Amino acid sequence: MSERTASETVLRPISAEGPEPSTTSAVAAPQAPAPRSASSLRPKLLLMAADALAIVTFTTFAAVLVSRLDLGALHAAKQLWWTSVLTIPIWLGVFAKQRLYNTRFIGRRIDEFRRVVNASLLGTLAVAVAANIAGILPSRGGLVVLCLSAVVIVTIEREIARRIFLRLRSGGQMVRSVVIAGANPEGRDIAAMLQSEPWLGYEVVGFVDDSVLTLEPVPGVPLLGGVSELPGILHEYPNASVIVAASAVESAVTNRLARDLLDQGVHVELSSTLRDISSQRLTVRPLGRFPIVYVEPVTRGGWRAWAKRTFDFIGAGALLVATAPIMLVVAVAVKLDSKGPVLFRQIRVGRDSEPFPVLKIRTMVVDAEARLAELRELNEADGPLFKMTDDPRITRVGRFLRVTSLDEIPQLWNVVRGDMSLVGPRPALPHETEEWDALLTQRLRVKPGITGMWQVSGRSDTSFEDYTRLDLYYVDNWSLATDLAILAKTVPVVILRKGAK
């Protein structure tokens, strides 16, 4: 890893509850951080109120369950309830100690769940201690039920809160202003991403850069000045935080700037320059006086490959049986709608460039491939992909099948055969792979899938660049958990009819 990367990781990326105001220039003497703004405290207070309600809920649930299971009788259940409710301040203190109100520690659901489990164990222990001090001896069974109830209900409450916050942010509420230091390609990509994904909760007010002179490096995001002018610029945006594009700013400047801004109470975040490496694979460890980012390798073989194949075989087989009645109705509809076979076979490129015949329900007229050449000029997609909103080759039934993705059900047989997986990159056509560069060809290291990261991230609404990036991100960061997450997202994508093939 380069000297720049090593030195830059000294700075701790901060993405906490909200930005804090800056009060003086970067050259001023260090001072205490400015008080947190009221707007940044609002999400925390709302979350604390939701947690308090969740505590009452799981305490009530546990008390009722204890009384029904006779794990201490009704009187003991009431004592457990009162003790737990009276210790709500302690519960909230435990939640705060577990960093459950700091966004940077609960950005991922798995991290938040781990902290919820720890908080539930400590909270239950606090209830037991409080009960003993009060001369109450709660049953062990009652405490176990209380702890398990806390884990389940708080996890559900936190997921509901997460979705509410995401919706509010998407609507322009509970967002925080941010200035991006660095208007190079990395900085511009960060700004463009934050603009296109408002649910992340950022509003980019502008760039600071010493080498770029463009008035608007990204449409709608102006250049505010040079990096050295940032402290003065923050006076105009007192609640703004700063994101440093690490590849755009010299490491010495980055370290000095971050120290000065942190002394002013400004939140600073630093990119890792590793755009398409999952954060779950990154571990910061010390190497002498340098913190080094270690990238965990991806293991596709061994038990993981066996588990994926077993899951594919059982899942695809079960879905084939479950959808058999639907396929019978679809087959009849296809035959009545147009001439030709029900099934459509087409050669696609599989893992390690091995060709295989993919199966689909026919959605086009029988001479569709012969007519493709005359429609090339009407292609609406970039790169080697072909997309046409009103493709005249699609039949009436075929249009419905495509919208509902019912035409892809026969591909489950490809999964059972081992040609495909339930989750993986889109199976490409041979002529498409001829236009791929060496980087994109790496997607052939895994089996193609019926659904994948590209399909659940906009599908045909994404550009070919996004198509490339998303597929390679999946290949480079594959895990069983990723497959399950993609499958979970596929259902609402199909039901809500987001995107088209």
**Is the CB of residue 119 less than 8 Å from the CB of residue 147?**
no
CA 312 vs. chain centroid, Å, equals 23
pLDDT tens for 253-280 read 888 888 888 888 888 988 888 877 877 7
What mean pLDDT do residues 452-472 have? Answer: 71
Task: Provide the pLDDT for residue 327.
Answer: 93
Helix, strand, coil proportions of the chain in percent (round to 5)?
A: 55, 10, 35
CA 95 vs. chain centroid, Å, equals 23
Mean pLDDT over all residues of the chain?
Answer: 80
Q: Give, rounded to a whole angstrom, the gap between the first and last alpha carbons of the chain.
A: 40
Q: How many CA atoms lie within 13 A of 248 on its CB side?
A: 24
Cα dihedral sign for 430, 434, 435, 440? positive
Q: Which helix (H) or strand (E) holds 318?
A: helix 302-322
Q: Is the whole model's pTM more than 0.85, yes or no?
A: no
> Rounded to whole angstroms, how far apart are CA atoms 44 and 39?
10
Q: Please tell me which residue, 289 or 376, carries the higher pLDDT value.
A: 289
pLDDT tens for 367-378 read 777 777 667 666
pLDDT tens for 392-441 read 788 888 889 888 889 999 999 999 999 999 999 988 888 888 888 888 88
> Rounded to whole angstroms, how far apart are CA atoms 71 and 75?
11
Class of domain 3-16+175-295: alpha beta
The yes-or-no verdict on residue 37 having pLDDT over 80 is no
The yes-or-no verdict on residue 333 having pLDDT over 90 is yes
Residues of the chain within CATH 3.40.50.20 domain(s) are 3-16+175-295
What mean pLDDT do residues 220-239 have? Answer: 88
**Is the CB of residue 341 less than 8 Å from the CB of residue 361?**
no
Q: Please tell me which residue, 194 or 134, carries the higher pLDDT value.
A: 194
Task: Provide the pLDDT for residue 383.
Answer: 58
Q: Which residue in 87, 83, 85 sits closest to 72, CA to CA? A: 83
Task: Provide the pLDDT for residue 312.
Answer: 94
